[in-house]
């Protein structure tokens, strides 16, 4: 399974982002910050990116970074259980 950090720049406040949020919840994503999620899934990065872009407004931005076992990371003040979730998977 891959672990990805997904950051969304949702620029169209009139757009319905509920399908995007629902998809992230269905992936058991952890909301790390208001527009950033941590997810664990089998999908390759390109396929995940294409799928999520299809749920976003045309002018939105999307950044997806794979967090591999060797990736060094640091975080402060993450929301809810995002920190423990990531620490359990990528210590």
Cα 8 from Cα 35, distance rounded (Å) = 5
Cβ 37 vs Cβ 24: under 8 Å? yes
Q: What is the pLDDT of residues 39-56, one digit of tens each?
A: 999 999 999 999 999 999
What is the model's pTM?
0.92
**Domain residue limits, the chain:** 2-67
**86 Cβ neighbours under 8 A, 6+ residues apart:** 3, 30, 32, 38, 67, 73, 75, 78
Give pLDDT, residue 80. 83
What kind of architecture, by CATH, is found in domain 2-67?
A: 2-Layer Sandwich (3.30)
Residues of the chain with pLDDT under 50: none
Give pLDDT, residue 15. 97
């Amino acid at each position: 399974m891959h672990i990805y950090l997904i950051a969304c720049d949702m620029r169209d406040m009139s757009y319905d982002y509920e399908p995007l949020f629902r998809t992230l919840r269905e992936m058991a994503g952890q909301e790390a910050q208001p527009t950033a999620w941590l997810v664990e899934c089998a999908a390759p990065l390109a396929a995940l990116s294409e799928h999520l872009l299809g749920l976003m407004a045309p002018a939105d931005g999307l950044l997806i970074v794979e967090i591999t076992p060797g990736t060094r990371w640091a975080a402060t003040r993450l929301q809810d259980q995002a920190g423990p979730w990531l620490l359990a998977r990528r210590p």
